[in-house]
Structure 1
Amino acid sequence: MELTNLVDCNELLLCVRKKGAVVWNPWLGESTWIELWSRLSRIKFQGIGYDSKTYKLVANYPGIKYPTFDMWKIYEFASNVWINHEPEPGDGGSINIQNVVSLNGTLYWVCFHDETDPLCYHIRKFDFSSGLFIRFCDLPCGRNHDGDALVLGVFRGDRFSLLKQCKVTKKIGIWVTENKINENGADVVWMNFMNFSSPDLPDLYSKPSYFIEDKRLVVCSCNDTGRAWIYILGDNKLISKTRIDCVVDPWPLHCTFIPSLVPVPRGRREELAELQV
């Protein structure tokens, strides 16, 4: 199965292919296929969330009339239908979008107005209940140089973490939110959780994935040749590194997935078909 993207959706995986996507829980061995609604090019499946009624998937693509303004569609698992969603002016349609995080049914993105200005970086969320893009909170830092790594993640199941590596110095910083994430972004307070500045730090290429275990940082990244490595860091140093030899292709997709017992959402047609069998 050739993938074009792989997204950790906080207990489910979204595996994107050229003609659609697979929602997968590898721990339970369950999956479901989502077909594209058309043959539009440059479609991006962003992530999975939910409201009080059903699980939903969000995808976006450049507008035909205004290519710099993204158009959005929402897929409802319960009804197996795609719904058009046109963002209100200024609610996120023209914002440059980085990685997405799914937490408690809501999708959050790292966004910026000016990639070269660290003060412009913030988190924007999409609320499935209201159907609105909302500026949620500022980030503690942004990119200072082209090629800096900046990755948002989930910390301890209910908070955010942020990894940044400076491309020039190779220093790595980790920030986490002090309290669990709720609907009020004004309450978000970031604190510096750990830093690494030793001379043997690896260069983190191609959107590294990571998780934090106590005071250790585990990172998966590719080196400059596209080979995947696992790095373990702690006490301001690189503790170990392991090359993943089982992955043959260069620059493989990777993400962090914590095993879960969340069943893969299915549409009404799939449920009826199973009952008939």
Structure 2
Amino acid sequence: MGVNVPRELEDEILSRVPEKSLARFRSVCKQWNTQLVDETFLEQHSSRMDYNYDDYGDQHRIIINNACSRLSSLDMVGPSSASIKDISLINRKYPHEMRKRIKVYKIVHCTGLLLCVMDNQLLVWNPMLKETRWVKCGSDFHCFDDAYGLGFVRQSPPPTHRSYKIVRFRCARNDRDRPPRVEVYEFAYNSWKVIADITFDWHLKLPLSNVSLGGNPYWIGLRQNDAFIQSFDFSKERFQPLDQQLPFGYNEHNPIALETFRGNKLSLLEQCHLTRKISIWVRHLITPWTILMVVTIPHFPMLHQPPPPQVKIRAWLYRSRFSISYFVDRNDETLVVSVFDEGPRSVSIYRVRNKEFQRVFVDTAGNSCSYVPSLAHPHGSSKQDTTRIRYRKNRFN
């Protein structure tokens, strides 16, 4: 005999269930399929997660995009093993025997959504829900020169929901001398808007670090010989520095990277190029930096080699594809970090605990990003569709 449960009670029960299970629950019935992507329910589930990060810490993983366009999801499943899953995007408009992987140059992550930068368009993708949203770009699009951030603005009055947006900007200092530009794309209106009156006295640190926290994207920026954390406020549509200086003295030879910690804090990593010591700091947006972890292993590999002084434009463009990704597991004692080896041009994933480390994954060189699955469902997304990929010879101005 069926039992009628009030909608409010049903939402309360389901909001306590991890995302991975909820994704499967969508196939139970049409009502749950609609209910579990409802904006009100997603906000309720997201708010509960904001106070229970320990319950979901084991879902953290790293997405690796290798040189052959293969996307792999790496998940630590035990103290010494990892689960590798191929999640490559396949162009399905061709017959099965002719299908190829879709080329992805960069990946940006926000609340379980992946922004994939391709030849002449963008794809916003939720791998867990297998839903996509295609974004067209103008003729001035460039997959290397342009930087991206994915985030949202919380809409009100109730029911509160997230209005997702993309910022695309160009501030890189390289031999191409392409003019600076800032644009914002709004999912709800399916349109780009040029943001005027923004000038740049800074540029992005390579390898790139890009994270999203509280709806706003963050990068590591450089101004003269100093590094700082730069953010873009989608509500004001302006860049705003979080810190004028990092919690340590900046050294161009020391690899640094930016990530999130437990979903509600920023995390900052630095590796000393002399001692190989890795230090990780964390902070809420309104509190000072505090040290979280120090790993001292003299023979640990360098996460990323600094560029030579005579670096040329082709090498600059090639290096701009790479990033350092890492996360600290739920017991705050194990570090999972990516290492880019420029010699054989490969990317490796290492698991570090105490004074020991082991390589759990290696692939041809590509970029990576830290990723936590979610039920995020941006406006206009639909069942995974990879038939709309387009190629053209003259991509750029």
How high is the TM-score relative to the length of structure 2? 0.57
Q: Pairwise mapping of residues 58-97 of structure 1 onto structure 2 (< 5 A)?
A: 58-61=167-170, 67=177, 70-89=180-199, 93-97=200-204
For 2:365, the equivalent position in structure 1 comes to 251
Q: Letter of the 1:127 partner, please give it.
A: D
1:80 offset after TM fit, Å? Answer: 0.7
Q: Deviations over 1:235-255 (max 9, x none)?
A: 2x23321233xx4xx212211
Q: Deviations over 1:66-110 (max 9, x none)?
A: 947621011111111110012445xxx231123222111112221
For 1:274, the equivalent position in structure 2 comes to none
> Which of 116, 129, 139 lines up with 1:38 in the alignment?
139
> Which of 24, 27, 32 lines up with 2:125 in the alignment?
24
Q: Letter of the 1:58 partner, please give it.
A: V
For 2:319, the equivalent position in structure 1 comes to none
Q: Bigger radius of gyration, 1 or 2?
A: 2
Contact 1:165/1:171 (CA < 8 Å) preserved in 2? yes
Question: Identity, % of aligned pairs?
Answer: 31
For the residue of structure 1 that corresponds to 2:235, the secondary structure is coil
For 1:52, the equivalent position in structure 2 comes to 154
Higher helix share: 2
For 2:357, the equivalent position in structure 1 comes to 239
For the residue of structure 2 that corresponds to 1:262, the secondary structure is coil
Q: Letter of the 1:202 partner, please give it.
A: P
1:61 offset after TM fit, Å? Answer: 2.7
Inter-CA distance 161–78: structure 2 relative to 1 (3 Å threshold)? same
Cα separation, 2, equivalents of 1:260 and 1:127: 23
1:45 offset after TM fit, Å? Answer: 4.2
Cα separation, 2, equivalents of 1:87 and 1:153: 29
> Which of 324, 342, 349 lines up with 1:208 in the alignment?
324
Contact 1:175/1:192 (CA < 8 Å) preserved in 2? yes
Cα separation, 2, equivalents of 1:70 and 1:39: 11
1:43 offset after TM fit, Å? Answer: 4.5
> Which of 106, 112, 122 lines up with 1:5 in the alignment?
106
User: Taking CA–CA contacts closer than 8 Å with sequence separation of 6 or more, which of the two structures ends up with the larger relative contact order?
Assistant: 2
Cα separation, 2, equivalents of 1:121 and 1:222: 21
Question: Which ranges of structure 2 fall in alignment gaps of 5 or more residues?
Answer: 1-101, 156-162, 305-321, 384-397
Q: Letter of the 2:259 partner, please give it.
A: G
Contact 2:111/2:376 (CA < 8 Å) preserved in 1? no
Query: What is the RMSD of the two structures over their aligned residues, measured on CA atoms?
Result: 2.4
